[in-house]
Amino acid sequence: MTGNSYYFRKIHSLLGVIPVGFFLIEHLLTNYEAVKGHAAFVDQINWLNGLPLVLFMEIFGIWLPLLYHAVYGLYVAYQARNNVSNYGYFRNRMFFLQRVTGVITFLFVAWHFFETRLQVAFGNVEHSELGMTMHDIATNPVLFTIYVIGIVSAVFHFSNGMWSFLVSWGITVGPRAQRISTYIWMGVFVVMAVMFIMSLVSFTGTEFEQLPAAAQAGH
| Strands (DSSP E) found in the chain | none
Confirm if 34 and 198 have CB atoms less than 8 A apart: no
- Residue 112 assigned ligand-binding role: yes
DSSP letter (8 states) at residue 83 = -
Residues 6+ apart with CB under 8 A from 139: 203, 204
12 with 109: CB under 8 angstroms? no
> How many whole angstroms separate alpha carbon 128 and alpha carbon 106?
26
Q: Which residues have a Cβ under 8 Å from the Cβ of 66 and sit 6 or more positions away?
A: 15, 20, 23, 109
> Is 12 labeled as ligand-binding?
no
Known binding residue 157? Answer is yes
Is 135 within any annotated ligand binding site?
Answer: no
Which residue positions form the known binding site for heme?
27, 69, 112, 157
Which residue positions form the known binding site?
27, 69, 112, 157
